[in-house]
C-alpha cells in the first residue's frame, strides 16, 4: 500500500460540499467546506442550484489543494460522492435546465400514483408491477414521492417543456462527474432509486425494458451505467488548470453518500453496521443477499463495492433538528434577541444537554420535521414536543431533541436487525452528529449497543470516496479498510438509563401510532399549509 499517492475527494452534502486531499490510507491532509443554499417551496418542494454547487466545489477545491501543494502534485484520481435520490435535468450540452430537485422533495407523490397503480391495487401498487420491481430491483418506488422516478414524473407533469428538452436526468453525483469529465454516466448504485434497473446480477446491472415502460421513461433520457470503481475519464483540461490538479488525472465513478459513508466508516464487512447522523440519518450494513422489506421501506441495493449489497434506508431529519432549534427557535431576527448564533453553538448545545438527566424529565421530541422514509414511509407526519410542563426549561427541550433523534434511530435499528436476522453488537458512528460526545452516549444508552465514535467523523464520506478511488487504482484492497479507520472512543450503554429509555421509547412509538391520522388530516392539503 502506498501513502504517497493522494486522492482529491468531493462530498456534496445538502448543506454544501466538502473537498479533501486524502492519502490512499485515509489520512486527510487538506480540506475545505463551502455552504450552499436550500430552496424550500410550497407543496413539498426542495431544490438547490447546480451552479451554486459547482461554484462552491471549485472554491473549496482550490482552498483544500492550497493547503498542501506538494501532495496536490501527487493526486492519482478524483472521486465524488454526494447526496442521493436527487435529479438534475440537463440538455445535450450538459447545462441544467432548472434547479436540481433533491432528496427532500415530495412533489412527485401525486403523479407517481399513475406509475405505481393499476386496475387492481395493493397498498397503492399494481400487484404485477410491484412483483417485477421487487424481483428485479430489490425495492419499489416510495409513495412519498421523494425518489428520482417521482421527481421525473413531477417534471413531466408540471414542466413539460423542460422534460421535452432534457437530454439526460442525472443524480447529483453523476452531474458532478459530467462537469469534471464531460461524460454522461451513472453508477450501478446511484441509479438504483430510479427503480428501472435489474440488480439481480451485480456484475451486469442494466436497464430493464419493461420497467422503463412502466415508468414511462425513454431509455435515451437516462445515462449509461458503470461500476462505482470504474474510471470515467480524465478530468477536463480547463478544470485541471483552474484547480491545480495534474493533467489527465482520472475521475473514478464514485458513489452516493450512503454507499461512500459505509466505506468511510470502516464497516465494510458483511453485517458490520454504521450509524450516520448528518442533516438526515441512516443505519446500515453490507449484506450477502438480496432482500426487500417493503413495509419498512428497506432493501438490499447495490453497494459501491463491486458485487456487494447494502441495506438501504434513510431517516429524513436528524442533525437538521438541531439546525431547526438554532434557526427557527433560538436565533431569529424578530426583535426578541440576537439573530446570530455563536460560533460554538453545537458545543454549547452539548454542554446544556449534559446538565439534564436522562429522559429529559419526561419531555419527548419527535424529529419528523419533513415527513419520514424509514421505518415508516409517511410524508404527512410532523415533529413536535410532548408532555411539557411548567418546570421544563430550555435545557430539557434541547436534550429531548438529542434523545428524540436517538429514539427514531432505535426504531430503525429494530427493523434493520430483523432484516439481517441478527443483533448488531456495536455500531460505528459518523457524520457531524458523531462529533458530539453526549449524543454518542445517548445513542449507546437508547440503543443498548456500544457506539464506536470514528475519528474525524464528519470526514467519513470524503474518506470513503478516497478509499473507493484507492481501491480502484489498486493502492489498497477493501479488506484493508477496517484497519485504516481509527476509532476515537467507544461508548458503552449505561445500565442505569435502561429503564427510563425503554419506557420513553415505547411512548415514542405510541405517539406515532396515535397521532398519525391527525397528521394525515392536518397535512392532506400540502399547498394550503405550504408543507411537504
Residues of the chain with pLDDT under 50: 1-2, 527-532
Give a yes or no: residue 531 inside a domain.
Answer: no
Query: 229-264, pLDDT tens digit by residue?
Result: 999 999 999 999 999 999 999 999 999 999 999 999
Q: What is the pLDDT of residue 189?
A: 97
Q: What is the pLDDT of residue 3?
A: 53
Q: What is the pLDDT of residue 201?
A: 95
Q: What is the pLDDT of residue 223?
A: 98
Q: What is the pLDDT of residue 524?
A: 80
- List the end-to-end C-alpha distance of the chain, in Å, as a whole number: 48
Q: What is the pLDDT of residue 360?
A: 98
What CATH number corresponds to the domain at position 41?
3.30.420.40
Give a yes or no: residue 529 inside a domain.
Answer: no
What backbone torsions phi and psi does residue 249 show, to the nearest 5 degrees? -60, 125
Give a yes or no: residue 528 inside a domain.
Answer: no
Question: In which domain, by residue range, is 512 found?
Answer: 1-522
> What per-residue string of b and e applies to 163-179 under the rule 16 or more CB within 10 Å gives b?
beebbbbbbbbbbbbbb
Give a yes or no: residue 514 inside a domain.
Answer: yes
- Quick check: bond before 375 cis, omega within 30? yes
Query: 514-526, pLDDT tens digit by residue?
Result: 999 999 999 986 5
CA distance linking residue 3 with residue 95, whole number of Å:
38
- Quote the number of domains for the chain: 1
What is the distance, to the nearest Å, from the Cα of residue 311 to the centroid of all Cα atoms in its chain? 13
Give a yes or no: residue 527 inside a domain.
Answer: no
> What residues contact 400, with CB distance under 8 A and at least 6 apart?
360, 363, 364, 365, 385
Q: What is the pLDDT of residue 2?
A: 45
Q: Which position has the grid cell 410524508? A: 379
Give a yes or no: residue 40 inside a domain.
Answer: yes
Amino acid at each position: 500500500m502506498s501513502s504517497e499517492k493522494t486522492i482529491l475527494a468531493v462530498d456534496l452534502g445538502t448543506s454544501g460540499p466538502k473537498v479533501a486531499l486524502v492519502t490512499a490510507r485515509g489520512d486527510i491532509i487538506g480540506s475545505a467546506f463551502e455552504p450552499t443554499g436550500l430552496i424550500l417551496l410550497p407543496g413539498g418542494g426542495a431544490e438547490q442550484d447546480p451552479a451554486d454547487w459547482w461554484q462552491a466545489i471549485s472554491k473549496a477545491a482550490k482552498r483544500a489543494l492550497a493547503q498542501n501543494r506538494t501532495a496536490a502534485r501527487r493526486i492519482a484520481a478524483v472521486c465524488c460522492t454526494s447526496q442521493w435520490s436527487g435529479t438534475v435535468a440537463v440538455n445535450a450540452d450538459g447545462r441544467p435546465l432548472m434547479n436540481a430537485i433533491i432528496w427532500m422533495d415530495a412533489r412527485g407523490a401525486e403523479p407517481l400514483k399513475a406509475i405505481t397503480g393499476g386496475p387492481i391495487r395493493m397498498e397503492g401498487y399494481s400487484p404485477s408491477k410491484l412483483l417485477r420491481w421487487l424481483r428485479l430491483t430489490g425495492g419499489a418506488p416510495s409513495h412519498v414521492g421523494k425518489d428520482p422516478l417521482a421527481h421525473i414524473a413531477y417534471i413531466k407533469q408540471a414542466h413539460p417543456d423542460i422534460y421535452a428538452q432534457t437530454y439526460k436526468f442525472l443524480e447529483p453525483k453523476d452531474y458532478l462527474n459530467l462537469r469534471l469529465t464531460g461524460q454522461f454516466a451513472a453508477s450501478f448504485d446511484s441509479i438504483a432509486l430510479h427503480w428501472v434497473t435489474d440488480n439481480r446480477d451485480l456484475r451486469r446491472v442494466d436497464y430493464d425494458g419493461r420497467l422503463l415502460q412502466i415508468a414511462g421513461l425513454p431509455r435515451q433520457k437516462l445515462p449509461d451505467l458503470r461500476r462505482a470503481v470504474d474510471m470515467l475519464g480524465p478530468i477536463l483540461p480547463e478544470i485541471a488548470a483552474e484547480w491545480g490538479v495534474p493533467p489527465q488525472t482520472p475521475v473514478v465513478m464514485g458513489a452516493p453518500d450512503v454507499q461512500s459513508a459505509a466505506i468511510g466508516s470502516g464497516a465494510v464487512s458483511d453485517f458490520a453496521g454504521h450509524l450516520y447522523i448528518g442533516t438526515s440519518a441512516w443505519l446500515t450494513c453490507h449484506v450477502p443477499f438480496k432482500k426487500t422489506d417493503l413495509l419498512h421501506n428497506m432493501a438490499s441495493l447495490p453497494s459501491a463495492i463491486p458485487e456487494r449489497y447494502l441495506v438501504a434506508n434513510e431517516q429524513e431529519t436528524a442533525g437538521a433538528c438541531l439546525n431547526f432549534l438554532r434557526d427557527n427557535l433560538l436565533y431569529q431576527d424578530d426583535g426578541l434577541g440576537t439573530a446570530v448564533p455563536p460560533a460554538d453553538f453545537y458545543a454549547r448545545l452539548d454542554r446544556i444537554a449534559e446538565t439534564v438527566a436522562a429522559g429529559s424529565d419526561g419531555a419527548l421530541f419527535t424529529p419528523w420535521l419533513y415527513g419520514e422514509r424509514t421505518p415508516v414511509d409517511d410524508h404527512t407526519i410532523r415533529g413536535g414536543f410532548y408532555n411539557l410542563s411548567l418546570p421544563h426549561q430550555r435545557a430539557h427541550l434541547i436534550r429531548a431533541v438529542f434523545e428524540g433523534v436517538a429514539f427514531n434511530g432505535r426504531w430503525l435499528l429494530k427493523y434493520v436487525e430483523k432484516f439481517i436476522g441478527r443483533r448488531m453488537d456495536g455500531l460505528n458512528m459518523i457524520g457531524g452528529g458523531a462529533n458530539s460526545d453526549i449524543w454518542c452516549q445517548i445513542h449507546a444508552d437508547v440503543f443498548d449497543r456500544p457506539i464506536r465514535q470514528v475519528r474525524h467523523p464528519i470526514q467519513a464520506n470524503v474518506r470513503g470516496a478516497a478509499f473507493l478511488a484507492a481501491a480502484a487504482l489498486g493502492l489498497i484492497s477493501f479488506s484493508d479498510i477496517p484497519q485504516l479507520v481509527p476509532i476515537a472512543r467507544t461508548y458503552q450503554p449505561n445500565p442505569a438509563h435502561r429503564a427510563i429509555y425503554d419506557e420513553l421509547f415505547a411512548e415514542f412509538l405510541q405517539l406515532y401510532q396515535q397521532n398519525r391520522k391527525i397528521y394525515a388530516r392536518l397535512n392532506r392539503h400540502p399547498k394550503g399549509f405550504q408543507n411537504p
